[in-house]
Structure 1
Amino acid sequence: MAEIRPFQGVHYNQSLVKGLSAVICPPYDIITPQSRQELYHQSEYNFVRLESSRQLPQDTAMDNKYTRSAATLEQWLKQDILKLDEVPVIYLHDHYFTYQGKEYKRRGITACVRLEEWDKMVVRPHEGTLTEPKSDRVSLLWALQANTSPILALFEDQGQQVSSSLQAQEQNEPMISLSSANDERHYVWAITEPEVINQICGSLAHQPLYIADGHHRYESALIYQRERHIYSPSATQDEAFNFVMMTLVDFSDPGLIILPPHRLVRGISRATLNGLMARLKSFFEIEVLPLSMPDIWRQVDDLLTQEEASQDRLVLFGLIPEHLSVLRLHDFTAARQLMPYFHGELYKRQIVSIVDHIILEKLLGLSSISEEAILAYSYDRLDAVSKVLDQEYQLALLLSPVKLEVVKAIADTGDRIPRKSTYFYPKLPAGLVFYWLG
């Protein structure tokens, strides 16, 4: 099914660029204007200048963030700030990080994967997407002709064939070794041995891949591929734009952690807010807990992470001052009737689907037109509650994480849960290695 290939990656020339921790950056979708500014000041070679450069008020069609990124890439290549590997490589990437006081390692292999349309079910999505981020990424693809940050995708390492192929690699000196400011560590090895590359590609050739993070980047690559074929109808199937860079991780990897994107809402009228409790009772049993209760957050964590209980409940903050409202769904039949008919049963049973369709759309009247202005996301429950306490938002809806087996099952059915349903923590950085199509 999936066609995996090595590629000649581009990375920083460490003889000229010292301190790689100062030049890598997060992927575009979590770079804020403030963090972008900080990254610009961190190093003159910070990768944010390629991944998500600054937009200026005086930008024009001929001089804008995309043209400046292209000029920067050209300059860095000419100055040998960036260098191209001499031979096609598959990259082994070990990513160490700490979550809730425990250290984890997530192991991935970064390679090129042939682009396939969704309906072929070779590469399978699990979340919805928006138009605007894809427009941005397509524009960057045309400007740079490069995949600047890898898509995170999952596979099933049947018989641990891929894992066994990688074991000997970590005995070698990594080509990249760095510790970042947030206490994450990255080690990257270049796998050049043809027999190992063939083993890896062969092991993955008979199974699908599952997009974990990077749905917009994958769909952007598909759009770019179609556009390139229009302008180059005689192009072969081996052209670089027919492939996209991915970091592939085994489903059983202990470093796969999914955080729930909690919903934050503002801009709700007082009348709507006052009537929300009564309308919620049509679908949910509601228990009110004071924030002052001892061990309140341990109880919340238990409520949202217990294997069975987390499937039908959420915690809402903002309806009653200084109190959390625990909502337990009691009428699934009524809830499912209000969801789009074309989604399957598994989709309709996810708490994130219930929240988005029932609470946000039906009870609060949130439309796609107004959504961006009044809806935000937080991956930390305390941060979400603090934003309501600080009156930045009116409501925080705290969700349980979507389970990994649900991600796979949803993708296998061809369905997609709402966008911003999963956050695979931590994000893969941009700037370790990238795929240049030029």
Structure 2
Amino acid sequence: MAEIQPLRGWRYNPTLSADIDQYVSPLFDVVSAKQREALYRNPLNSIHLSVPQAQDPAAAAVTRLQEWQATGILRQDQLPGIYAYYQYFRLPGSSREYCRKGFMCHIRAYDWAEDVVLRHENTLPASVNDRAELLARTQLQTSATHGLYRDEDFELETYLDEAMRSPLYETEEDYQGARDVLAVIQDAAVIRRFQEVLAARQVILADGHHRYEGSLAYRHARAATGNTTGHEPWNYHLMYLTNAAADDLRILATHRLLLDIPGLTGKEMLERLEEYFTVLPKENANDLPEIIAGKRWALGLYLDGQAYKLRLKPEAHALLDWDTTEEVKNLDLTVLHFFIIEKVLGIVGPDNQRTWPGVAYVRNFTECLQRVDRGEARAALIVNEVTMGEVEAVCHSGAVMPPKSTFFYPKTIGGFLFSSIADEETGNLFARIFQAPTA
């Protein structure tokens, strides 16, 4: 199914790589304004290529890229490889150190209809256009999207562990507290085995839908010119692939903060909720995550200084009439969006909810309570995290989840590895060794 290819990565030169923490950056869609301003002060930080600051951002990125390549700030590896990428991290309140194991490579930029790369969320056109324009002008991918494949035998991890015995570089600690390590596999036989394993599998896109669709848009634009072989560099996309069967894959909950409850008092909202939910007052709001943990269709509510446990009445679920699959209807978040945001608050349908300014998406539970207490929001809806099994079930059903359903943690970082899809890469003498025949 999925065709992957090694690449000759562009990386910071050895002198700069020795201090790689100074040059990596958060992904474009999670970097805060405060982080951006701090990173912009370093003239060699990767933020200048991924989120350029200028009247014409793409032109500024092209100029900087050409300068960095010409002066040796960025250098291209001589041999193609698959890049092992490990992230070591801890979760709040836990002493266990996790290690998410994966690898970066090129994957063919498949259309959704080809059913090879599967999505679980919709995208915003403006963000897709932004990424597509930057890619078209620079022909450089500054960070890998995150894809999931499933291998219960964990065959590829043996090769990855071996590569990690000789890392290229590692961060001391990135912006989210993780330690990132990069290594490379350049053994042709091993690379072909990676290709064989992925050729039998679909890939679920965990993170980076906008960047992936930007690659699709650019591929379509180039293919429209005709006279193509299917092996041109712009047919491929930089992806970080991890094993969905691993225990070190973490999805964090994203809570809903109601900035407004249109036309309702708190009392009236509770009365409407009781039509669909069993509503139980709770003494301590800080206990809400534990109270709802592992319970189907259970949510926490913090409203007017009072905590509540909400549990959907089983007979109410049949009222959920959105045109989607049963796998999506069974999600806690779908229950929240249908019965609370649509039925109770009157924001009808997924499309209207995606653009409704009355909801904010917040991962930090304590922040949710504090913003309600400060009067910045009317209520907080606390949710369980989505499971990997639910993500896979929804993707294989051909549907998408409600917005901001998943937050895969930790995020990959920008600046660790750059991937060129410029026409000059076609001259790579090694490329045809790994090419699969095109349809």
Which residue number in structure 1 is paired with residue 79 of structure 2? Answer: 87
Measure, in 2, the Cα distance between the counterparts of 1:351 and 1:33: 32
User: How far apart are residue 331 of structure 1 and its match?
Assistant: 4.1
8 Å CA contact 1:124, 1:411 repeated in 2: yes
Which residue number in structure 1 is paired with residue 89 of structure 2? Answer: 97
From 241, 244, 247, the counterpart of 2:240: 247
User: How far apart are residue 143 of structure 1 and its match?
Assistant: 2.0
For 1:132-211, what aligned pairs fall within 5 Å after superposition? Answer: 132-171=126-165, 173-181=166-174, 182-211=176-205
For 1:65-76, what aligned pairs fall within 5 Å after superposition? Answer: 65-76=57-68
Paired amino acid for 2:310: L
Which residue number in structure 2 is paired with residue 48 of structure 1? Answer: 47
Measure, in 2, the Cα distance between the counterparts of 1:395 and 1:54: 36
Q: Deviations over 1:289-338 (max 9, x none)?
A: 133xxxx53x42323322xx1x21111112xx321121100045x44434
Measure, in 1, the Cα distance between the counterparts of 2:85 and 2:99: 10
From 319, 333, 341, the counterpart of 1:337: 319
Seen in structure 2, the aligned counterparts of structure 1 residues 304 and 167 have a Cα distance that, compared at 3 Å, is same
From 221, 226, 239, the counterpart of 1:227: 221
8 Å CA contact 1:165, 1:199 repeated in 2: no
Measure, in 2, the Cα distance between the counterparts of 1:94 and 1:7: 18
From 363, 366, 374, the counterpart of 1:379: 363
Which residue number in structure 2 is paired with residue 4 of structure 1? Answer: 4
Seen in structure 2, the aligned counterparts of structure 1 residues 222 and 336 have a Cα distance that, compared at 3 Å, is farther
Farther off after superposition, 161-170 or 405-414 = 161-170
Which residue number in structure 1 is paired with residue 339 of structure 2? Answer: 358
Measure, in 1, the Cα distance between the counterparts of 2:152 and 2:341: 41
Unaligned 5+ runs, structure 1: none
User: How far apart are residue 264 of structure 1 and its match?
Assistant: 1.3
8 Å CA contact 2:292, 2:309 repeated in 1: no
8 Å CA contact 1:124, 1:209 repeated in 2: yes
Seen in structure 2, the aligned counterparts of structure 1 residues 164 and 13 have a Cα distance that, compared at 3 Å, is same
Seen in structure 2, the aligned counterparts of structure 1 residues 369 and 417 have a Cα distance that, compared at 3 Å, is closer
Measure, in 1, the Cα distance between the counterparts of 2:151 and 2:343: 42
Which residue number in structure 2 is paired with residue 28 of structure 1? Answer: 28
Q: Deviations over 1:89-116 (max 9, x none)?
A: 1000111111123311000110011111
8 Å CA contact 2:178, 2:410 repeated in 1: no
User: How far apart are residue 366 of structure 1 and its match?
Assistant: 3.3
Q: How large is the Cα RMSD of the aligned pairs?
A: 1.9
Q: Deviations over 1:176-211 (max 9, x none)?
A: 222125432111111111011111111111111111
Which residue number in structure 1 is paired with residue 426 of structure 2? Answer: none
What is the aligned-residue identity percentage? 28
8 Å CA contact 1:290, 1:322 repeated in 2: no
From 396, 400, 421, the counterpart of 1:437: 421
Q: Deviations over 1:133-185 (max 9, x none)?
A: 212211211121122111111111243221233332222x2112221254321
Measure, in 1, the Cα distance between the counterparts of 2:177 and 2:215: 32
8 Å CA contact 1:12, 1:82 repeated in 2: yes
User: How far apart are residue 54 of structure 1 and its match?
Assistant: 2.9
> SS at the partner of 2:15?
coil
Seen in structure 2, the aligned counterparts of structure 1 residues 269 and 412 have a Cα distance that, compared at 3 Å, is closer
> SS at the partner of 2:137?
helix
From 293, 306, 322, the counterpart of 1:305: 293
Q: Deviations over 1:216-261 (max 9, x none)?
A: 222221112111212x211220011111111110112222110111
For 1:388-399, what aligned pairs fall within 5 Å after superposition? Answer: 388-399=372-383
User: How far apart are residue 273 of structure 1 and its match?
Assistant: 4.7
> SS at the partner of 1:241?
helix
Measure, in 2, the Cα distance between the counterparts of 1:140 and 1:392: 36
Measure, in 1, the Cα distance between the counterparts of 2:66 and 2:341: 46
Farther off after superposition, 187-196 or 263-272 = 263-272
Seen in structure 2, the aligned counterparts of structure 1 residues 251 and 35 have a Cα distance that, compared at 3 Å, is same
Which residue number in structure 2 is paired with residue 317 of structure 1? Answer: 302
Which residue number in structure 2 is paired with residue 129 of structure 1? Answer: 123
Which residue number in structure 1 is paired with residue 104 of structure 2? Answer: 110
8 Å CA contact 1:6, 1:88 repeated in 2: yes
Farther off after superposition, 419-428 or 32-41 = 32-41
Which residue number in structure 1 is paired with residue 282 of structure 2? Answer: 289
8 Å CA contact 1:272, 1:364 repeated in 2: no
Which residue number in structure 1 is paired with residue 208 of structure 2? Answer: 214
TM-score by length of 1: 0.90
> SS at the partner of 1:159?
coil
Which residue number in structure 2 is paired with residue 264 of structure 1? Answer: 257
Farther off after superposition, 105-114 or 387-396 = 387-396
Measure, in 2, the Cα distance between the counterparts of 1:72 and 1:82: 11
8 Å CA contact 1:165, 1:200 repeated in 2: no
Seen in structure 2, the aligned counterparts of structure 1 residues 210 and 269 have a Cα distance that, compared at 3 Å, is closer
User: How far apart are residue 357 of structure 1 and its match?
Assistant: 2.4
From 261, 266, 269, the counterpart of 1:276: 269
Measure, in 2, the Cα distance between the counterparts of 1:357 and 1:138: 33
From 411, 421, 426, the counterpart of 2:405: 421
8 Å CA contact 1:96, 1:106 repeated in 2: yes
Seen in structure 2, the aligned counterparts of structure 1 residues 106 and 278 have a Cα distance that, compared at 3 Å, is same
8 Å CA contact 2:288, 2:382 repeated in 1: no
Size of the aligned set, in residue pairs, is: 416
Paired amino acid for 1:10: W
Paired amino acid for 1:435: S
Farther off after superposition, 113-122 or 157-166 = 157-166
